[in-house]
Chains A and B, each alone.
Chain A
Amino acid sequence: MPVTDAELLLRVEEATVRYGPTVALDRVDIDLRAGEVHAMIGENGAGKSTLLRLMTRVLAPDAGGVRLAAGARLAWAPQEAVLPADLTATEWIFLARERRGPLRLLRREEMRREAEAALREIGCRAAAHAALGSLSAAERKQVQLARALHGAPTVILLDEPTAALGKEESDRLFELLRARRDAGAGVLYVTHRLDEVRALADRVTVLRDGRRISTDAAGAVDSATLVRRMVGRDLAPHRLSARAAGETVLRSEALSSAHVEDATIEVHRGEIVGLAGLVGAGRSELLEAIAGVRPHRAGSVWCAAAPAFVPEDRNRHGLIPTFCLRENLFLPAEAWRLDLGRERQQAAQWIENLGIRARGAETPIGSLSGGNQQKLLLARALRREPALLLLDEPTAGVDVGAKAEIHDLIRRLAESGTAILLASSDLPELLALCDRIIALRGGRIAGEVTAAEASDSALGGLIMNDHDAEEMR
């Protein structure tokens, strides 16, 4: 469908997407022009990935529409992709667009040469005939990007492209993107990282709770404003420091396990302590070592009482898919004999207290939404009235309504004296909830900021720098 403005490559008009009762996108307008890099930022659950899925037509909107300029070629590099280990980089770059010769046979040598050139252009040193399984995470990401950029697409959609890349590779990518932009392509760049917005973007759009909050020229708005618009609420009033001086509930000394080195931390009654860090920094591993799920090889950890742990991956590590809500809640069972009547009663109470939306305690766990499943896992942990609660990405993949409720719950728990150690990749979430935030980098503690001195850039500076890039590979 031709677009009226000759400069416009892609336009999303009043797009609305609903997943059942949840509104993932609410009348969002966004457009992409030729010759620009348009950054899209927002919290987890703001609707960024849903919007990208709309643009690539993987998903159809419930209202509104997407228009692509006539003749525009669209390429997309998704955030997470599990690449088949046995395919080569060449095969992946040319997948579904192979070059064929007479008799429809593949032109292998030609493809390999082109793939090689594409990889060098993006700064990847891997050989084009290397199997994907033999490449590092950063190299695989680069192959993914090479595939997206190959063939000179006019519309380039990138979702967190530098998540696995070090500084050198990121800079190279930016050079490449600038070149493409100058040649007339439009780049839609989804990211968490405000420094990248500064470095690369011409325009920046903020999404929050499924709505477009603002679109500005990148130079016209400062980072603090962007963060405020992303988070959307005043950071919770700083709690009295007297609470932070409560008795110690957790102490670890030089704790080391797989991916964690020499972690020494302390958490007190009523404190909410955040663990920040990039992918691979060791947040989950540290929580697992404290929880006792993972053995530690050096150092020690002491807890006033057995901590309750809510793991990151609720499907793989949290829920029993064959159990109903009540059975998932009462795991492990307390006494050797089950009292089903009492379980039903208490389950009903937990459902009410936490606002879990389900048809009842006997519903199969698979029919609950992600947010409600997460609340159930929280209820399982809270059943034991723990002195220390370990949370790993408690609002990942959770709809915005449930996310707010979970945040409230966390605050209420802290106020009643529970100590909480919270790992999250969502910086605004950490800034909104925590008394202090410990930054992890490459498995080590890189520093700590208190709520008063925390800002997105201060925290960002701690969790990533040049050395980090090397360690991540």
Chain B
Amino acid sequence: MSRRLVSGWSAAVILLLEFLFFTLVLAPTHGEPHTFANVQNLALVLKYSSIYGIGAIGAAMIIGSGGIDLAPGAVIALASVITGQLFVSRGWPLAPAVLGGLAVGLLTGALAAWLIVFVRMPPFIATLGVMGIARGAAFLLTEGRFYDLSRRIPSRTAPLGIPLALWPGILMIVLAAVFQIVMTRTALGRHVLATGGNEVAARYAGVHTGRVKTFVYIAGGLLSALAGVVLAVVQGQGKADLATGYELDIIAAAVVGGASLSGGRASVAGAVIGSLIFGVLRNALSQIPGGTFADRLIVGVAVLVIVVMDRLATRDDGSAT
């Protein structure tokens, strides 16, 4: 791969610098315990970032294939609602309810794939439609109420012996590792990036671009649904208005992690690190008086700066963007 300023590695560096920065800035003055740099707080950061992080894995692959996905937020919400309905209203055991929530991702992903590959809609429009359908379905099902899963899940639940609160982080890390390997060490991963780099040339070379695109959108759907299931189970709520706007943070995380919106470049590991960068930022800002108001502003500026720097550096390189 050609050398690029913004990649998984640069994201790791940014995360490290950010962590050090806030550790310094938020250091307590009187020998009190550090509000930011302590295990509990960082575990919290990991837990909340994982919702975005799991979604960012899918976004990285979809953007790498030359597409875009606007549906994650809506799919997260719908999956949380379905899981909640199956578990709470219908009394299903947790495992089948989880599978039901994941099925949401399979369906929305398949719908997006069909619209994009068969009907040949631009991904922006297709996933915009899926987003509306998913969000609308969630509202119709809940009619403004929400499902309270926390009543049926004992607070000390530890599936497979691991405390519930650690599951989001573990899932994110495991899935990131799996998909990072897929993207860098398998033919499928190379074909995804080839499709994003130059779809026509990939097709002429013999890549089944239709299959490749179907894979990324279904995987993206499943990952978003998983994020929704995790949100429902760990947070305890299945609501229709959850995760509004998450897709933009997810895309930003992928871009900061090295994905190029023109396709052909992406890093799953980088995307996950990107989600941690924003997670740390959100967490640290909430500890600064008035900081939360600056959150969106800082995220926006950070994305612009990082992407502009990358474009400038790549152009000097002389290689193709």
Q: Which residues of A contact B (CB under 8 A)?
A: 293, 309, 311, 316-324, 327, 330-338, 340, 362-367, 380
Contacts and interface: CB of A to CB of B under 8 A. Distances in A.
B317 A323 contact: no
B205 interface: yes
B204 A367 contact: no
Interface stretch (B97-105, B183-191, B284-292): B183-191
A322 B66 CA distance: 12
A366 B318 contact: yes
Nearest to B203: A293
5 contacts: A316-B200, A321-B320, A321-B321, A322-B320, A332-B205
A320 B187 contact: no
Given A322-B265, A337-B185, A367-B318, A331 B194 contact: yes
A331 B205 CA distance: 6
Given A293-B204, A311-B204, A364-B2, A321 B190 contact: no
Interface in B234-287: 260, 263-265
Contacts of B202: 320, 331
A380 B205 contact: yes
B86 to A, nearest CB: 35
A103 B207 CA distance: 60
A317 B200 CA distance: 6
Contacts of A318: 201, 204-205
Contacts of B2: 322, 324, 363-364, 366
A293 B207 CA distance: 11
Most A CB within 10 A of own CB, among B186, B187, B203? B187
Most A CB within 10 A of own CB, among B1, B185, B203, B206? B206
Contacts of B321: 321
A365 B187 contact: no
Contacts of A311: 204
B46 interface: no
A316 B199 CA distance: 9
B204 A321 contact: no
A338 B187 CA distance: 6
Contacts of B193: 320, 322-323, 327
B198 interface: yes
B120 to A, nearest CB: 16
The 5 closest A-B pairs by CB, nearest first: A322-B264, A364-B319, A333-B187, A321-B320, A364-B2
Chain B interface, DSSP helix/strand/loop, else mixed: helix
Chain A interface, DSSP helix/strand/loop, else mixed: loop
Contact of A332 (B3, B197, B207): B207
A380 B186 CA distance: 18
Interface residues of B, number: 33
Interface in B165-201: 184-191, 193-194, 196-198, 200-201
A254 B90 CA distance: 64
Contacts of B189: 338
B260 A322 contact: yes
B187 A321 contact: no
Contacts of B317: 364
B24 to A, nearest CB: 38
Contact of A320 (B185, B198, B318): B198
A335 B197 CA distance: 21
A338 B194 CA distance: 14
A320 B197 contact: yes
Given A321-B198, A366-B318, A333 B1 contact: no
A324 B1 contact: yes
Nearest to B196: A322
A366 B201 contact: no
Contact of B190 (A327, A362, A367, A380): A327
Given A316-B201, A380-B205, 20 more contacts: A320-B202, A321-B320, A322-B263, A322-B265, A324-B1, A324-B2, A327-B1, A332-B187, A332-B190, A332-B191, A332-B194, A332-B205, A333-B187, A336-B187, A336-B188, A337-B185, A338-B185, A338-B186, A363-B2, A364-B2
Contacts of B263: 322
B187 A335 contact: yes
Given A317-B204, A364-B319, A365-B320, A337 B186 contact: yes
A359 to B, nearest CB: 11
A316 B204 CA distance: 10
A342 B206 CA distance: 21
Contacts of A340: 185
A365 B201 CA distance: 14
A336 B319 contact: no
B2 to A, nearest CB: 4
A338 B192 CA distance: 14
Nearest to B319: A364
B219 to A, nearest CB: 16
A333 B198 CA distance: 16
A336 B205 contact: no
A186 to B, nearest CB: 40
A316 B206 CA distance: 15
Contacts of A365: 319-320
A319 B201 contact: yes
Contacts of B197: 320-323
Contacts of A321: 197-198, 264, 320-321
B186 to A, nearest CB: 6
A317 B201 contact: yes
B186 A336 contact: yes
Most B CB within 10 A of own CB, among A320, A327, A332? A320
A317 B197 CA distance: 11
A135 B187 CA distance: 46
Most B CB within 10 A of own CB, among A311, A316, A321, A338? A321
Contact of B320 (A332, A333, A338, A366): A366
Contacts of A330: 190
A331 B184 CA distance: 14
A340 B184 CA distance: 10
B210 to A, nearest CB: 14
B320 A364 contact: yes
A13 B201 CA distance: 43
A466 to B, nearest CB: 36
Nearest to B317: A364
Contacts of B320: 321-322, 364-366
